[in-house]
Structure 1
Amino acid sequence: MIPSLFIAHGAPLIAIENNEYTQFITQLGQSMPRPKAIVVFSAHWESTDQKVSEVDTYSTIYDFGGFDPSLYTIQYPAKGKLEIAKEIEDLFTQNGVPFQIETTRGLDHGAWVVLRLLYPNADIPVIAMSVNPNLTPEEQYKIGKSLAVLREKDILVIGSGGTVHNLRAVKWADNGEVDSWALEFDEWLSLHLKKWDLDSLFNYEKLAPNAQYAVPPYGNEHFVPLFYAMGAADDAKKATLLHRSFRYGNLSHSVWQFG
């Protein structure tokens, strides 16, 4: 059974950088069993109702500004797969998850940056999914859990975001040092993920050290894809940290495998 993944998409620059993190994601795509399709929950697609993409071929969305001009020439023309989108909609119906169908939206950089590193040929069908940061972590987990059966069919579920993502705190002049507050939060998170301690994780805002700084209320959309990806492995309840590093003082680059 294929695992689900949480992958930090970092700054858009990782799409053109060659470093420890980009090399790791590229190698991960080469070493994992090839999925039949990919379901990706991106932090950069927020919606009050769960959205499911029924798109034939995705356009590439450049939802960022002020970066290297070459970023705006990248294309990732992944195709969708209606059969799998319909299966997801059936699962949501069975599990009482309200949803809406989206037929035109392309892939934002939270999706295509990660997918392009994993599978550069854009030759695996993709079903793009929105996230709702206003739901409780338990509700987000439930949405992911309703898709757990897809893993038995070699469909890869990915949550793309960042465990520590406070753009007001990042230090673009990166000296390689990691802020202690960011590390303390991420280590607390790691401990409770490995225990599959849902009670603590669902209450991370009150229990985790520096939670309000690591996951600020205005930026929690980057954190919540973790719960969607985790829920998709509720049947296994196993979390493995595959990679963790930091850029710009506190922006986390972490990859978690669930299942």
Structure 2
Amino acid sequence: MLPALFVAHGAPLLAIENNVYTKFLNSLGHSLPKPKAIVLFSAHWESSVQKVSNVDEFETIYDFGGFPEALYRIKYPASGDETITKEITELFAKQGVPFEVNTARGLDHGAWVVLRLLYPHADIPVISMSVNPRLSPEEQYKIGSSLSSLREKDMLIIASGGTVHNLGALRMAGDNGKVDQWALDFDMWLEKKISNWDVESLFKYDTLAPNADFAVPPYGNEHFIPLFYAMGSADQEKSAKLLHRSYRYGNLSHSVWQFGELK
């Protein structure tokens, strides 16, 4: 059985950088058994109804602007898997989760930046999944839990986003290694609640966590909520492990959480 992962995708520049975080993701990909498939929830694919991809080969979406030309030359031509898409939709139907199948959308940078660092050869089938910020955390968690059986079949569930993601607070020009205390305080609260699997508190993070309105601003909660999808897929085990945490630009968190055990 493979664990589930919450992986911060950071800024698009990660795709062409060589730093402590990119090196960690490279090594993480090597440390896990090769998955049969990857089911990936991306913060950059929002929809009011759960979307499930059914694509033969994904196009690479450059959903950003003003970055070096090298980024726009990167391709990640992962393939889909119609059989696994069907299995996912059957699980959703069984659990009463509304869904729609999408046959056209490519992989956004929340997906391909992470996938390329973990599995650079694009040789593992990918099923791309949307997230819905308008759902409650309990509902997002339930969607993840409905897919828990996929992990028993050596499929890797990844949720891509970021625990602290406030674009208005970033210091892109002053990336000097100093981390804002408000970001640290939020992540420390989060670490305690996740490690203890205190979902009752986590579901109310917006009112209980210190600096929640700054760490997860109302316009940016789509980056935080993938955490609940990944966590839900390990509901039967209720085990969590912080694998990595570092910061860029003063407060942009690069957190990687593992949910469930590798068995």
The reply to whether residue 100 of structure 1 matches residue 100 of structure 2 is: yes
Match of 2:122 in 1: 122
Distance 2:202 2:13 in 1: 30
Match of 2:215 in 1: 214
Instruction: Work out the number of aligned pairs and report it.
Output: 259
Distance 1:231 1:55 in 2: 25
1:157-215 per-position Cα deviation (integer Å, ceiling 9, x unaligned): 00000000000000112111000000000000000000000100000000000000000
Match of 1:249 in 2: 250
User: Structure 1 stretches of 5 or more lacking a match?
Assistant: none
1:67-107 per-position Cα deviation (integer Å, ceiling 9, x unaligned): 11100000000000000000000000000000001000000
Distance 2:237 2:17 in 1: 34
Distance 1:207 1:147 in 2: 28
Distance 2:165 2:196 in 1: 23
Distance 1:33 1:141 in 2: 25
Match of 2:166 in 1: 166
Distance 1:258 1:33 in 2: 16
Distance 1:176 1:22 in 2: 16
Distance 1:183 1:138 in 2: 25
Quick one: percent identity of the two aligned structures?
70
1:133-164 per-position Cα deviation (integer Å, ceiling 9, x unaligned): 11100000000000000000000000000000
1:10-65 per-position Cα deviation (integer Å, ceiling 9, x unaligned): 00000000000000000000011111000000000000000000000000000000
The reply to whether residue 53 of structure 1 matches residue 64 of structure 2 is: no
The reply to whether residue 181 of structure 1 matches residue 158 of structure 2 is: no
Match of 1:42 in 2: 42
Could you state the TM-score of these two structures normalised by the residue count of structure 1? 1.00
Distance 2:206 2:112 in 1: 29
Could you state the TM-score of these two structures normalised by the residue count of structure 2? 0.98
Shift of 1:111: 0.2
User: Structure 2 stretches of 5 or more lacking a match?
Assistant: none
Match of 2:137 in 1: 137
